[in-house]
Chain A
């Protein structure tokens, strides 16, 4: 038996994020939330561990995108999906002070919640989220809880209280071992997450989904990093379409551009 906590970011669905063509502003408030891609692998891994070892899975999410009221109600769907995948209880930390929270405040809110739950045997998170991609919250959580940390795991195995993992680094794989309780962050390659069945989604309606605020966990927001301007990425490209009716003409005209730009230099 091991009680697992899985960190689930409700991320902006970047595929559906539009940029206002007249102002260049990203229309973040209108883009929907979804479970951050790599956190699906974290959920899947928690479920596989539960299937083998038993125990309970609690998910913790911090709502960092506004507008607050809209997002609180919107958060239910992705969290139900997590419950349908096999999470037993979902906790949403929702507080206006957490909108645009930095990684320190986010980690502290998560740790406050974990302490309130009485700790955990294993904490699993994705290596990073698709929206912010800071890749530091899991490490911050382990430090705050003074638990051993294994990042970038592409494979993990639990035997008793011994946790073995393969860390997937840029140039090499590190096989490491520690004892639980521990924190693990996982990569995309670790598994293929299951798609919940209709029955599971229906069953998930009965599972508990709790919403808590910062004051309930006794954590204060003390942001160190503040975004002050957010704008659509301006791509300064020439956007010239090369003329030509035939492939031959297109190629000749493209080569002229390549020469003009100094990319190729004719020998003759």
Chain B
């Protein structure tokens, strides 16, 4: 053979050096804030765009935004707190930052469809030692609870923190995790998870390729790469495409008449099952009460509950006003009871949306910029009160 053959020693040396170098690079970029001017994880840099931000990546963003002398305010929760119908320059968390002033640093880690125990909660928990003065804000629909280790689409963030030992021991959650992973139906997932998380812990491959995908070229097919010329574009070049819900051009889109019946049903239907009429008003059925109290109590580790603010919102008056007087009466009880249950479970909780107009919403649940400003005005005093209560400025 005239061409030199492969020499195993050199090959394996190159392989080992390559993996070590990539692992080091992944670790390095994972701890570097490569999202300058971060506002939120828009759809191109979220699981909807096949981009899966890592715990390290989110922690680096928080460290990049927040000085050690500031109180870190992490906003988690779902599309309402993410700011659907709010362009990024008018997102409600920007207004919250203005109202709170320079002693606080607000970071928006909300994702569409996420629950209180998802991404933002995990990152805040992972940063508990770096930023002991922190407040976590999330929202949840009234009388709704999820697993303590998050919802399926965003659970990857929890798994990263869990397998790398960055979560607190919390018996109810640990019990749920053990039960989930030992269930025969999840064995395949458990095996893949352990393999993935263990290799990622050493090689930091997700951090490295996220950085490549954000800064240089993105290799995973998603709805953002269907056009050939955008196939490999780095995700940093995709704009946040949220629209302004107060712009008159969207007027006919907010409340399509054909959806009235369905949306109104969504506002009121859940409560019909959970409440009994009594001579003194609507009463939450004991089974629902106990189940909700337990679920809320297991959502966030005990040590972190006192610094957690849960927001429970009203739906748009457009649909609220379409409900019967009985539905509306019960609807008021639902929000009141949900706030009380979250408080009894150890959290701070408030209701928002009272007195908002239909124009403050972009649809049934999401707030337009005017509603976002009202939300920020309701949340800011609560954040200050929590900081005061926890002695953050003593």
Do A and B assemble together? no
